[in-house]
Structure 1
């Protein structure tokens, strides 16, 4: 089975993997500070979906095409639907490869680190024209253990509210699903599983989804994904790809400008510290050599 990399509008950090058989393989913001600090009830490491995972980094910026500014306020979601024609190669009854184009749609949500622009977590429902099977895809940063995969659990609005207050949620009430890693690239690693009708219905009515991966030290790391706005985006029309790409480019420019400002401020701080050190009492400000000794200046006793 051959795979190719597809990028929607040139703007997706979560790449789309296009495969030839029944399953076409492909590819924001954690709830503002509250769910990001949430720690669901602990479970053995073998079942990390509901483990007491450490939350991923909280600093982030949301991206949602034209809705980016509103989403950045924290409580609103930046779920968006993006669609594009994708090349698909399949075999006919005689075994010959036949190329055709299918409409591929992603209803996706992404969270970026506001300082570096790195994708902290991305989730998407992928649909392919003419195929009943849909996929749930999640991308997490590099450095996660591959064999355990990812576990994700959808919380109801009430459960998500409890999690945001660091209250315990009964694990027995959750329905965790396992996602197997399918691709790693410079932006992170993507895992996927079938998005059943039950999973999609949970996401439509849920408050949030906790994504848990294991790091290299076998510690569970939690990546909260809010679900407010998912139902509308999933049922609604796709947004304009160019508008989304322009909004994302603008955000990345803002991040680069911020990095440059931070670098300039760091240099100024270092220069000020160096100047302050030179003005300290006893500091060598002439540029000459330091005295050879700091001992007594008394003349030695005369020899008899």
Structure 2
């Protein structure tokens, strides 16, 4: 069976052969001697145009005080499929406004294990290699790593000791530090009010959790629909 090249390769090959043939013909036929033509007068140099102004990227660190999206922290418990041990996590969403979730924080508590896991769902568009840093209250910054990204956000986590979770129960805020696309530091301040009560309290009933999530989704959808209708009304020509 003869080998068939893609058409794009055939076009490139044909062009190469034409160029090679042209060069060979030029080498075989020396150019005829002609009197040298007078050199044309140089054209006046065009006026130099000012370079267009470039948009300035925001410089320096960025700090954002976030607010909770849900009224309370949510604690969920279940059995880990691998270890078969009970594991609970206490979570809450945060945003610049209560109806605009930006990131989520969850603290995982494997029963009988001194190591806990802090997991974040962060917005896309951040530098992954530096990871993230976090601090509880006025404590020192610790480091964490990004795990995996999806179109709507990236998961990041860090393993911590139970002592740090105890600090979270008493602290009023948690600091999350990341870097954006232009390598500027972005600092998120998350309120921890009520975390200790939910972490040490009973887990939410799965049915109640489902209703809470459904209600929140409906509220966010209604907000999005209202914003869309508002934009559509603003874009309509006057008098129509």
TM class by shorter chain equals 0.5 to 0.7
Task: Check if 1:55 corresponds to 2:55.
Answer: no
In structure 2, how many angstroms separate the alpha carbons of the residues matched to 1:197 and 1:103?
A: 16
3-state SS, counterpart of residue 115 of structure 2:
coil
Shift of 1:115: 9.1
In structure 2, how many angstroms separate the alpha carbons of the residues matched to 1:231 and 1:145?
A: 31
The residue that corresponds to 2:79 in the other structure is 85
Aligned residue pair count: 181
Matched-pair contact (CA < 8 Å) for 1:56–1:120: no
The residue that corresponds to 2:207 in the other structure is 242
Matched-pair contact (CA < 8 Å) for 1:57–1:120: no
The residue that corresponds to 1:274 in the other structure is 238
Shift of 1:198: 2.8
3-state SS, counterpart of residue 101 of structure 1:
coil
Structure 2 spans left out of the alignment, 5+ residues? 1-59
Task: Name the CA shift for 1:143/1:217 in 2 (closer, same or farther; >3 Å).
Answer: same
Task: Check if 1:142 corresponds to 2:142.
Answer: no
Task: Name the CA shift for 1:242/1:55 in 2 (closer, same or farther; >3 Å).
Answer: farther
The residue that corresponds to 2:216 in the other structure is 251
The residue that corresponds to 1:105 in the other structure is 88
In structure 2, how many angstroms separate the alpha carbons of the residues matched to 1:177 and 1:245?
A: 34
3-state SS, counterpart of residue 80 of structure 2:
strand
In structure 1, how many angstroms separate the alpha carbons of the residues matched to 2:170 and 2:80?
A: 30
In structure 2, how many angstroms separate the alpha carbons of the residues matched to 1:230 and 1:61?
A: 12
1:110-130 per-residue CA deviation (whole Å, 9 max, x = no partner) reads 12576986x412112112234
Structure 1 spans left out of the alignment, 5+ residues? 1-51, 64-70, 72-77, 89-99, 157-173, 277-304
Scaled by the length of structure 1, what TM-score is found? 0.54
Matched-pair contact (CA < 8 Å) for 1:84–1:103: yes
3-state SS, counterpart of residue 152 of structure 1:
strand
3-state SS, counterpart of residue 275 of structure 1:
coil
Scaled by the length of structure 2, what TM-score is found? 0.67
Matched-pair contact (CA < 8 Å) for 1:107–1:125: yes
What RMSD over aligned residues (CA atoms) do the two structures have, in Å?
Answer: 2.5
Task: Name the CA shift for 1:239/1:192 in 2 (closer, same or farther; >3 Å).
Answer: same
In structure 2, how many angstroms separate the alpha carbons of the residues matched to 1:192 and 1:270?
A: 43
In structure 1, how many angstroms separate the alpha carbons of the residues matched to 2:231 and 2:98?
A: 15
1:81-116 per-residue CA deviation (whole Å, 9 max, x = no partner) reads 11122311xxxxxxxxxxx63322101121257698
1:1-304 superposed matches below 5 A: 53-56=61-64, 62-63=69-70, 71=71, 78-88=72-82, 101-112=84-95, 119-155=101-137, 174-271=139-236, 273-275=237-239
Matched-pair contact (CA < 8 Å) for 1:211–1:223: yes
Task: Name the CA shift for 1:217/1:57 in 2 (closer, same or farther; >3 Å).
Answer: farther
Using CA pairs below 8 Å that are at least 6 residues apart, which structure has the higher relative contact order? 1
